[in-house]
Amino acid sequence: MKLYAQFLAALLAVLLVMVAFAACQTPGENQGDSSTAVPGGETSVPAADSGGEDTSESRLNVHDDLPDGLKYNGATFTVLGLEGVHDFVLDETEPTGRLDSALFRRDQTVEERLDIDIVYVAPGFDQLPVYFQNSIASQESTYDLYLGQVVRTGVEVLNGNCLKWSELPYVNFDKPWYPANTVAALTLNGKQYINIGALNISSLAFTNCVFFSKDRAEDHKIGDMYDIVNNGEWTYDRLFNIVKDLYVDENRNNVADEGDFYGLSVRSGDIPVFMWAFDQKLVTFADDGTFELTFMSDKTVDIVNKVRSLFYDTIGTTSLADAATDWDGIAMFRNNRSLFDFGLVGQTLWYLADYENYGIIPYPKYNEDQKEYYTFADGSSTGMVVPTYVEDTRYVSAVIEALNAESWRTCELEYYNIALKTRGTRDDESIAMLDLLFAGRVTDIQYIHDAWKGFAFSLEILCQPNNKTELASFYQSKVDAVTAHYQSLVDWYFGDY
The closest alpha carbon to 249, from 314, 316, 319, belongs to 316
The closest alpha carbon to 424, from 410, 411, 434, 438, belongs to 434
Reduced to 3 states (helix: H, G, I; strand: E, B; else coil), residue 293 is strand
Tens of pLDDT, residues 144-163: 999 999 999 999 999 999 99
CA–CA distance, 402 with 443 (Å, rounded to integer): 23
> What is the reported pLDDT for 371?
96
CA–CA distance, 46 with 179 (Å, rounded to integer): 12
Q: Which residue has the higher pLDDT, 355 or 375?
A: 375
Average of pLDDT values for 64-91? 94
> What is the reported pLDDT for 260?
94
Residue 17 has pLDDT above 80, yes or no: no
pTM metric for this prediction:
0.86
Average of pLDDT values for 235-255? 96
How many CB atoms neighbour CB 480 within 10 A? 9
CA–CA distance, 420 with 431 (Å, rounded to integer): 8
Residue 19 has pLDDT above 80, yes or no: no
Tens of pLDDT, residues 404-457: 999 999 999 888 887 788 778 878 888 889 999 999 999 999 999 999 999 999
- Per-residue pLDDT band for 29 (boundaries 50, 70, 90) equals low
- Per-residue pLDDT band for 33 (boundaries 50, 70, 90) equals very low
> What is the reported pLDDT for 53?
63
Q: What is the mean pLDDT of the chain?
A: 87
CA–CA distance, 106 with 405 (Å, rounded to integer): 9
Average of pLDDT values for 225-241? 98
Residue percentage of the chain with pLDDT more than 70 = 87
For residue 8, give Cα distances in angstroms to 12, 123, 144: 6, 7, 20
The closest alpha carbon to 265, from 335, 215, 214, belongs to 335
The closest alpha carbon to 198, from 344, 51, 87, belongs to 87
- Per-residue pLDDT band for 139 (boundaries 50, 70, 90) equals confident
> What is the reported pLDDT for 27?
44
Nearest 10 degrees: Cα torsion 367, 220, 330, 206: -40
> Crossing angle for the helix pair 298-312 and 471-494, nearest 10 degrees?
120
Average of pLDDT values for 218-243? 97
How do strand 208-213 and strand 338-344 relate by DSSP bridges?
A: antiparallel
